[in-house]
Structure 1
Amino acid sequence: MNILILGATGFIGSVVAARLVADGHAVTGLGRNTTRARQKQQAIDWRRGDLSRMTKPEDWDDILKDQNVVVNCAGALQDGLSDNLSATQAEAMLALYSAAKRSSRPLIVQISARTAGAAGDLPFLVTKRRADEALAASSLPYLILRPALVLGRNAHGGSALLRALAAFPCVLPLVLAESPVETLSVDDVAEAVSRAVSGGISGDIDLAANEVLTLADLVRLHRQWLGLPPARVFSLAPWLAKPVTWLADMAGRLGWRSPLRSTAMTVMSEGVRSSKTGSGLATTPAAVTLSASPSGVQDLWFARLYLLKPLVISGLSAFWLLSGLIPLLTLEKTSAHFLPFMPEAAATALTFATCLIDIALGVAVLLRPLAKRALLGMLAVSFAYLAGASLLEPALWLDPLGPLAKVLPSILLTLTALATLDER
């Protein structure tokens, strides 16, 4: 069969795509950034597309041509610079359904979520529910899958946060430690999609393993999987998480997709549960899912670096902002370094320009779409500063305050940020 997968570069979508290719289907993958995906999964026909811009039926006509199945693995947690929930999760899907009715009427498999409960009025679940209800009323053949917390060999979002918390040194600081959580393997989701494609299941199905863990239990399991010694759970009052959630929401507005945003915390406040509708599908308990793929040192590195990454980015931003703002307060004194080599007016202008460059880089690195270019700019400017200072005033290398020596750790931190910048 010809199968189109939306969000095929994502955590769930990439596994579903690989399974369907292994089943012998011709798979087309749609994603916003497919460059690396083409290298990793060469058996897939990759198409670049942004669902938030595909909100009219005619936007789908070409890509739906000759498709027998469409699997929607795309989604977003919260509105922000990089995501538009209404467009991506609702308007694009309604446009897809309209286009599908006038084409080959493909089977639509929608990877959704449980949309009732305390978080039911949040945009994340409102838009999911709107798409689900429209699909159910569309007369198209469909399967709506509502998986619990999905675990797999890779990690993204909530599963990545679990690993990071599990790797926390000495203690496990948890909010809502006793919240109930149901899980399943990402391979269980792929199996359900494969069954739907072969005509084995349809309708609206909750998917979860037959066990209920607490959040603390799940973090302990991940800590054991990482090969770390047991640690005591330190339960935190929910109000202590509010500053972190607020910062995560602000980061979301700048394009960073943190799993600590308010939507995730609201969902977790009542736990991750299913209604157990009896799908007849085999599901995998969390311990079995983890033990099936033993962790390596790369998993431990990822877990330890995950929560350090935002600190590295914000630290670099503060460093460059301060290095640009502080000299502006004493512009005349700072520009005196250039006086032996150029007129006073030129020295002042050059100092002012370098301050503006530093400030611009400090701001740009906070914006996710600009972060990579800002980090590369930081490297270029750092090497330019070192080269210029070494030529014009080499004695600065011996200065007791180390104004040039301090640039070297900044370069290493920038390289670390570049190495950990990718999200998937």
Structure 2
Amino acid sequence: MNILILGATGFIGSVVAARLAADGHAVTGLGRNPARARLKQPAIDWRRADLSRMAKPEDWGDLLEGQHVVVNCAGALQDGLSDDVAATQADAMLALYSAAKRTSRPLIVQISARTTGAAGNLPFLATKRRADEALAASGLPYLILRPALVLGRNAHGGSSLLRALAASPLVLPLIHADSPVETLAVDDVAEAVSRAVTGDLRGNIDLAADEILTLAELVRLHRQWLGLPAARVFSLAPWLARPVTWLADMAGLLGWRSPLRSTAMTVMSEGIRSAKAESGLTTTSAAAALSANPSGVQDLWFARLYLLKPLTIAGLSVFWLLSGLIPLLALEKTSAHFLPFMPDATATALTLATCLIDIALGAAVLVRPLAKRALLGMLAVSFAYLIGASLLEPALWLDPLGVLVKVLPSILLTLTALATLDER
């Protein structure tokens, strides 16, 4: 069969795409940045598209041509610079359903979520509910899957945060440590989609393993999987998370998709539960899902670096902002370093230019779409500073305050930020 997968570069979508391709189907994968996915899975026909810009039926015409099944694995947790929740999860889906009814009326498989509870009225779940209800009323053949917290070999979002918390030194600091959590292996989701393609499943299905763990138990399980010694859970009052959640929301407005944003915290406040009924599907427990893919040192590195990554970006931003702002407070004194080599006006202009460059880089690195270019700019400017200072005033290497020496660790920190920048 010809199958179109939305969000095929994501955590769930990439596994579903690989499974359906292995089943012998002709798979077309849709994603905003499929270049790397094209290298990893060349058997899939990759197309670049942004669902938030596909709110009209005519936007779907060419993509739906000849497709027998459409699997929607795309989603957005919260509005931000990189995401429009309503456009992605509701408007685009309604346009898709309308276009599908005009073509071959393909089967629509929607990867959704439980849309009730404390977070039910937040945009993330409200838009999913709107799309689910529209699909059920569309007259198209459909399957709506509502998986619990999905675990797999890779990690993204909530599963990444679980690993990061599990790798905490000495103690495990948790908010809502006793919240109930149901889980599901990502391969179980792929199996359900595979079964739907062959006609075995239709309707609405909540998917979860036959166990309920607390958040603390799930984090301990991940800690064991990472090969770390047992640690005591340190329960934190929910109000302590508010500053972190606020910062995560602000980062979201700049394009960073943190699992610590307010929507995720609201969902976790009451736990992750399902209303699963008999579906005939075999599900995998959390312990079995993890043990099926033993961790390696790369997993330990990822877990330990995950929460350091935003601190690294923020630290670099502060460093560059201050390095540009502080000299402006004493512009004449700072420009004096250039006076032996150029006129006063030129020295002042050059000093002002370098300060503005530093400030621009410090601000740009906070904006997710600009972060890579900003980091590369930091490297280029750092090496330019080192080379220029070495040629014009080499005595600065011996300055007691380490004016030039301090640039070297900042270069290493910038390289670390570049190495950990990718999210998928």
TM range (shorter): over 0.9
2:273 equivalent in structure 1: 273
2:39 is the counterpart of 1:39: yes
What CA deviation, in whole Å up to 9, does each residue of 1:310-345 have, x standing for no partner? 000000000000000000000000000000000111
Q: Which whole-Å CA distance do the structure 1 matches of 2:133 and 2:285 have between them?
A: 30
Q: Which whole-Å CA distance do the structure 1 matches of 2:110 and 2:279 have between them?
A: 15
2:416 equivalent in structure 1: 416
2:363 is the counterpart of 1:331: no
Q: Which whole-Å CA distance do the structure 1 matches of 2:276 and 2:360 have between them?
A: 52
Q: Which whole-Å CA distance do the structure 2 matches of 1:119 and 1:401 have between them?
A: 52
Question: Map of 1:16-415 to 2, 5 A cutoff?
Answer: 16-415=16-415
Question: How far did 1:276 drift?
Answer: 1.4
What CA deviation, in whole Å up to 9, does each residue of 1:37-64 have, x standing for no partner? 0000010000000000011000000010
Q: Which whole-Å CA distance do the structure 1 matches of 2:197 and 2:403 have between them?
A: 63
SS at structure 2 position matched to 1:221: helix
Q: Which whole-Å CA distance do the structure 1 matches of 2:400 and 2:146 have between them?
A: 62
Q: Which whole-Å CA distance do the structure 2 matches of 1:342 and 1:276 have between them?
A: 75
Q: Which whole-Å CA distance do the structure 2 matches of 1:381 and 1:56 have between them?
A: 45
2:6 is the counterpart of 1:11: no
Q: Which whole-Å CA distance do the structure 2 matches of 1:276 and 1:389 have between them?
A: 66
Q: Which whole-Å CA distance do the structure 2 matches of 1:248 and 1:5 have between them?
A: 29
Q: What residue identity is the alignment partner of 1:314? A: A
Q: Which whole-Å CA distance do the structure 2 matches of 1:315 and 1:276 have between them?
A: 45
Q: CA RMSD in A?
A: 0.3
Question: How far did 1:298 drift?
Answer: 0.1
Q: What residue identity is the alignment partner of 1:400? A: P
Question: How far did 1:65 drift?
Answer: 0.2
Q: Which whole-Å CA distance do the structure 1 matches of 2:112 and 2:202 have between them?
A: 14
SS at structure 2 position matched to 1:332: helix
Q: Which whole-Å CA distance do the structure 2 matches of 1:276 and 1:70 have between them?
A: 24
Gaps of at least 5 residues in structure 2 are: none
Gaps of at least 5 residues in structure 1 are: none
Question: How far did 1:150 drift?
Answer: 0.1
Q: Which whole-Å CA distance do the structure 1 matches of 2:104 and 2:335 have between them?
A: 70
What CA deviation, in whole Å up to 9, does each residue of 1:171-193 have, x standing for no partner? 00000000000001000000000
SS at structure 2 position matched to 1:144: strand
Question: How far did 1:264 drift?
Answer: 0.3
Q: TM-score, normalization: structure 2?
A: 1.00
Question: How far did 1:268 drift?
Answer: 0.5
SS at structure 1 position matched to 2:245: helix
SS at structure 2 position matched to 1:60: helix
Q: What residue identity is the alignment partner of 2:16? A: V
Q: What residue identity is the alignment partner of 1:410? A: S
Question: How far did 1:280 drift?
Answer: 1.6
Q: Which whole-Å CA distance do the structure 2 matches of 1:94 and 1:279 have between them?
A: 27
Q: Which whole-Å CA distance do the structure 2 matches of 1:168 and 1:220 have between them?
A: 11
Q: Which whole-Å CA distance do the structure 1 matches of 2:121 and 2:96 have between them?
A: 24
Q: What residue identity is the alignment partner of 2:285? A: P
Q: Which whole-Å CA distance do the structure 2 matches of 1:117 and 1:291 have between them?
A: 31
Question: How far did 1:85 drift?
Answer: 0.4
Q: Which whole-Å CA distance do the structure 1 matches of 2:325 and 2:30 have between them?
A: 44
SS at structure 2 position matched to 1:146: strand
Q: Which whole-Å CA distance do the structure 2 matches of 1:404 and 1:113 have between them?
A: 53
Runs of 4 or more off by more than 6 Å in structure 1? none
Q: TM-score, normalization: structure 1?
A: 1.00
What CA deviation, in whole Å up to 9, does each residue of 1:362-381 have, x standing for no partner? 00000000000000000000
SS at structure 2 position matched to 1:381: helix
How many pairs were matched up?
Answer: 424
Among the aligned pairs, what percent are the same residue?
86
SS at structure 2 position matched to 1:70: strand
Q: Which whole-Å CA distance do the structure 2 matches of 1:154 and 1:103 have between them?
A: 36
Q: Which whole-Å CA distance do the structure 1 matches of 2:262 and 2:380 have between them?
A: 37
Question: How far did 1:66 drift?
Answer: 0.1
Q: Which whole-Å CA distance do the structure 2 matches of 1:48 and 1:262 have between them?
A: 30
Q: What residue identity is the alignment partner of 1:20? A: L
SS at structure 1 position matched to 2:119: coil
Q: What residue identity is the alignment partner of 2:20? A: L
What CA deviation, in whole Å up to 9, does each residue of 1:63-113 have, x standing for no partner? 100000000000010000000001000000000000000001000000000
Question: How far did 1:278 drift?
Answer: 1.7
